[in-house]
Amino acid sequence: EPEVTQTPSHQVTQMGQEVILRCVPISNHLYFYWYRQILGQKVEFLVSFYNNEISEKSEIFDDQFSVERPDGSNFTLKIRSTKLEDSAMYFCASSPEDGYGYTFGSGTRLTVV
């Protein structure tokens, strides 16, 4: 069964450093998403991406965040200057068409120290 692949599974970074979280969505999917989940809290929407542009973003997704689909297969989330409160599980997801259920990756646990 096709999977969404995320790397790394766990990343530790110092406050103020830049991090790039990587995702390989399912190959024929058209819609891509990033969500995050702070430990013990709800899953939160960050951004959706379609046709090589952001289609929607949340208040969390401020100027410190950016997404890119650099080569037609990878989908990355960059945090320019990490803060302690960015520590969370970050989930990438994709879907083939609008309205279909997403397939989520297994997540990247980001720890900012």
Partner 1 sequence: DAKTTQPPSMDCAEGRAANLPCNHSTISGNEYVYWYRQIHSQGPQYIIHGLKNNETNEMASLIITEDRKSSTLILPHATLRDTAVYYCIVRPSSAGNNRKLIWGLGTSLAVNP
Q: Which is nearer to partner 1, 58 or 74 (CB)?
A: 58
Interface with partner 1 by CB under 8 A: which residues? Answer: 4, 31, 33, 35, 37, 42-45, 48, 50, 55-56, 58, 89, 91, 93, 98-99, 101-107
Q: How far apart are CB 44 and partner 1 at their closest, in Å? A: 7
CA-closest candidate to residue 109, choices 36, 32, 43: 36
Q: Which is nearer to partner 1, 1 or 63 (CB)?
A: 1
Q: Which is nearer to partner 1, 91 or 112 (CB)?
A: 91
Compute the C-alpha angle 99/93/20, nearest 5°. 145
CA distances from 73 to 49, 97, 98 (A): 13, 17, 19
